[in-house]
Amino acid sequence: MERVKTGIPGFDDLVQGGIPKGASILVSGGTGCGKSIFAMQFIYNGAKQFNEPGLYVTLETNLKNLAWDMQNFNWDIKPLQDAGLMKIYRLNLGVSGDPANIEDQIEAELEVISAMVKELGAKRIVIDSTTAFGVWIREEGKLRGTLYKFVDALKDLDCTTLLTAEVRGDKHVMSAFGVEEFVADGVVALYFTPPFRSLFVRKMRGTNHSKKIHPLDISAQGLKVNPKDEIMWDAVK
């Protein structure tokens, strides 16, 4: 099986060298657990180390925050953007138009994303975060249906896709609406039990992945996983 390396130190070793090519992976966790940094690193490393163009679709952070995060890690993204190796796109639903129209808007956004992927020749896509759809679609059944269609349409783009989902509460909960984990080929859970951070590969199709919870660290160098050490499940909240 062809694998796509995240380039995140320590992570690829946990999943037999990388994410299965073409898979959709969910990165879940509470706020501040490192989901966006994980996702950014996937796109940045793809462009910088592996020469694979990537599209980062953000639904929540304003673009200034995102740039600020990247500067924080000393990532110089301008040359990569200029070389057509990465692109950041802010998906903003519901600014104009009424909520009843949301399905049409999402349809239109999918067209935009699809055109960008083709133009860029993107191999990697990030959607950060899927939870933000809940701001625009209040009715749960409709939200599930819409998200399902959205994620399914992304599959046709032939990229390796990383979706983030913000979760609250119990450590067993992997996504806010439940739907994402059924459409995902893999689930990576991030935890922050102050002062310790950790990462757990819950699911990865076709992969003999690590079954352990591994320490995670975020520093000025970005996010890194310790594949050798293990944290006990009871110590994670």
Using CB under 6 A as the criterion, which residues of the chain lie in contact with ligand ADP when the complex forms? Answer: 29, 31-37, 72, 218-220
Smallest distance from ligand ADP to CB 52, Å: 21
Distance of CA 89 to the CA centre of its chain: 14
State the sign of the Cα–Cα–Cα–Cα dihedral 44, 48, 52, 54. positive
Smallest distance from Mg ion to CB 158, Å: 26
**Count of residues near Mg ion by CB under 5 A:** 2
What does the longest C-alpha to C-alpha distance in the chain come to? 51
Smallest distance from ligand ADP to CB 195, Å: 10
Smallest distance from Mg ion to CB 8, Å: 16
Of Mg ion, ligand ADP, none, which one does residue 65 interact with (CB within 5 to 8 Å by kind)?
A: none
Q: Which is nearer to ligand ADP, 102 or 213 (CB)?
A: 213
Q: Which is nearer to ligand ADP, 36 or 130 (CB)?
A: 36
3 in Cβ contact with 19 (< 8 Å): yes
Of Mg ion, ligand ADP, none, which one does residue 48 interact with (CB within 5 to 8 Å by kind)?
A: none
The alpha carbon torsion through 134, 139, 140, 145 (nearest 10 deg) reads -90
207 in Cβ contact with 188 (< 8 Å): no
Rounded Cα distance between 190 and 171, Å, is 9
Hey, which residues does 222 pair with through a beta bridge?
Answer: 219
Phi and psi at 49, nearest 5°, equal -95, -30
Q: Which is nearer to Mg ion, 14 or 39 (CB)?
A: 39
Residue 6 in the binding site for Mg ion (CB under 5 A):
no
Tell me the per-residue interface mask from 193 to 222 with Mg ion, x by CB under 5 A, - otherwise: ------------------------------
Smallest distance from ligand ADP to CB 76, Å: 16
Rounded Cα distance between 150 and 66, Å, is 23
Smallest distance from ligand ADP to CB 60, Å: 9
Rounded Cα distance between 69 and 190, Å, is 19
Residue 161 in the binding site for Mg ion (CB under 5 A):
no
18-77 positions binding Mg ion, by CB under 5 A: 35-36
**Closest CA relative to residue 216, chosen from 225, 204, 227:** 225
Query: Where on the chain is the footprint of Mg ion (CB under 5 A)?
Result: 35-36
